[in-house]
Structure 1
Amino acid sequence: MVRRLVVTVAGIACVTGTLVGTGVVGTPVADTAGGALSDDATLLAPAGPAFSIWSVIYAGLAAYVVWQWLPSQAASPRMRATGWLAAASMVLNAGWLLVTQQDWVWGSVVVIVALLAVLVEIVRRLHRDPARSAVEVVVVDGTFGLYLGWVAVATCANTAAALASDDITLPAVPSALVVVLVAGAGVLAAWALGGRWAVAGAIAWGLGWLAYGRVAESPESTLVAVVAVVAAVVVVLAAVGWHRRSPAAGALTRAGR
């Protein structure tokens, strides 16, 4: 009961932080820190439409809060293993938005790195104990998979923004190398987590919009755009390959039959 109450309060905090970050209450994130976190601040910033994935993630988190209150989930090993961490992820999410309101760009990097670490552990625990139903796959695994994949891309963009706030701009080649590192992380995640579609899809989504931004918007870089497209394809192909080998995927398929 305590765990479920804490998750619920964290969900409310997450929504409150979102109202601040989107400008309903405070200043939109893109306008904080002199625009350092805007979608045209660095070569590693995804184009604006990429951030619409947050709507899906927030909807998933809301569904997760409701899901964990179902009687069938009260003593669920998966909820026990991930509930406290899920609450932490939502508090960190709200914390990131509040930190950016103070123009603490490097502080936001610290928060998002902590968030990334929490999400990695959540998805690792989910992978260790496969979902029991297709609904759970969508509500729990899908939500935190998207969350992890997107935050992996956002962490790089956030770090580049922090450097830019100190007048350190990453040129095309170093930016392209960072994209390669993101792709490497995506491939590693596919191997370690059985090729989870949500993780790979969110990373590919972020890289795809990053590529679009470097071609259609400023700052432009054909090199970064091409590398981002190739990286997105590699991450998806890695997920396809490792998903087929995943025992969890096979078990879920047999259960569906």
Structure 2
Amino acid sequence: MEAQIINTSPGISKTRLTLLKSANILFFLLCIGFNFLAVFLPLNNKTTQELSDQYPNLFTPAGLTFSIWSLIYLLLLFFSVWQIWPLRSAQRRLDRNRAIDALGWRFVFVSFLNMAWLFCWHYEFVSASIVVMFLMLFQLIRVNRQAFYILPHTQDYRNFLQIPFGLYLGWISVASIANVTAWLKGAQWDGGGLSEKLWTVMMILVAIALSLGMLFVRRNIPYALAVTWALFGISLKHQELFNTSLSTIIFTAYAGIAILLIVIAVKLRPWWNRAVIDSTLATPPLFPRLS
């Protein structure tokens, strides 16, 4: 009966599912390996941090903030393992297959673009790196649209799609702004008559506005958490650079952090518990409800 449920689901090809699962896992492993080489070789004999330091600007967060990549890759590992994990429930397997089919080749594209960005960045093709970054951003927006808007809000989708890809999109949104800033810095752009501090404040406000939009329209908590972490990194970087605990940029970042954390606190329980309420799974919740 369980095999019949899976095989008779309309629009899902077993061959396509096998190809997608295999490609998703393969490109994730390639991406991890390429990132490892970028750090430990490193590519072009320069680390990612050293290259970032070549384009000093006021928007790039403190170095420790980039540790979020470890969390993102760990969550993507969970996503990869989830695709082939032997689930006992036929309904959960069916839901998982529907999700993989709906995502299509997007995760493969994202993983490939991640590697392409590292290559462009390490070999200092900064203009090309911006194009690659925005292509990655576009693909992640499409993945998040599936995860938060089109697919049902089940526990598995929340845990293995919304959390990893929401966090990924949030961080890449910040990285895109930082990438453009580095390119402008390298091109010695004068800011169009505005100071670098004012531009930084405006970019922080854009990041906050995007996060609020994601929270109110999509309840994308992970996205907002990634931006909140980036704002903390920006404030920390400025405290280290200028040996001060208060400036316009630091105040704006802290204000953004406070606003986002308040909205996250309000939205968190409805978002988390709705997966439990809406889920049709007969199995117990993987994580408990928030009381």
Query: Same fold per TM (> 0.5)?
Result: yes
Query: Could you tell me how far apart the structure 2 residues matched to 1:33 and 1:17 are?
Result: 18
**Inter-partner Cα distance in structure 2 for 1:151 and 1:219:** 28
Inter-CA distance 183–31: structure 2 relative to 1 (3 Å threshold): same
Aligned residue among 199, 214, 237 for 1:213:
237
15-24 or 58-67: bigger deviation: 15-24
The one-character-per-residue Cα deviations of 1:14-56 (angstroms, maximum 9, x if unpaired) are: 11220233243423112237722xxxx1100000010000001
Larger Rg: 2
What CA distance in whole angstroms lies between the structure 2 residues aligned with 1:34 and 1:208? 19
Q: Please list the CA deviations of residues 126-163 of structure 1 after superposition, one character each: whole Å capped at 9, or x if unmatched.
A: 11223433x55333321111111111111111111111
- 5+ long unaligned stretches in structure 1: none
Aligned partner of 2:119 among 80, 98, 113 = 98
Q: 1:116 to 1:197 in 2, by over 3 A?
A: same
Q: Deviations for 1:70-128, whole angstroms, at most 9, x for unmatched residues? A: 35547621121124212211111111111112101121111111111211111111112
Q: Which amino acid aligns with 1:98?
A: F
Determine if contact 2:174/2:227 at 8 Å carries over to the other structure.
yes
Deviates more, 1:22-31 or 1:111-120: 22-31
Change (3 A) 1:225 1:187: same
Q: Which residue of 2 aligns with 1:186?
A: 211
Q: Name the structure 2 match of 1:21.
A: 38
Is it true that 1:147 corresponds to 2:146 in the alignment? no
Evaluate the alpha carbon distance shift between residue 126 and residue 217 of structure 1 in structure 2; reply closer, same or farther with a 3 A threshold. same
Percent of pairs with identical residues: 21
Q: Which residue pairs with 2:63 in the alignment?
A: 48
In the TM superposition, 1:153-192 aligns within 5 A as: 153-168=174-189, 171-192=196-217
Structure 1 counterpart of 2:49, which letter? A
Contact 1:64 1:140 in 2 (8 A): yes
Tell me how far apart the structure 1 counterparts of residues 212 and 258 of structure 2 sit (CA, whole Å): 11
Q: Which amino acid counterpart does residue 28 of structure 1 have in structure 2?
A: T
- Partners of 1:254 and 1:18 in 2: how far apart? 38
Query: Is 1:117–2:132 an aligned residue pair?
Result: no
Q: How big is the alpha-carbon RMSD for the aligned residues of Structure 1 and Structure 2?
A: 2.5
Contact 1:149–1:198 under 8 Å retained in 2? yes
Which runs of structure 2 are paired with 1:219-230 in the superposition (5 Å)? Answer: 222-230=247-255
1:5 aligns with 22
Spell out the pairing of 1:7-86 with structure 2 (5 A cutoff).
Answer: 7-26=24-43, 27-32=46-51, 35-36=54-55, 41-72=56-87, 73=93, 76-86=97-107
TM-score normalised by structure 1 residue count: 0.87
Shift of 1:235: 2.5
Structure 2 residues without counterparts, runs of 5 or longer: 1-17, 88-92, 280-284
Call closer, same or farther: CA 1:83–1:188 in 2, change over 3 Å: same
4+ residue runs of structure 1 moved beyond 6 angstroms? none
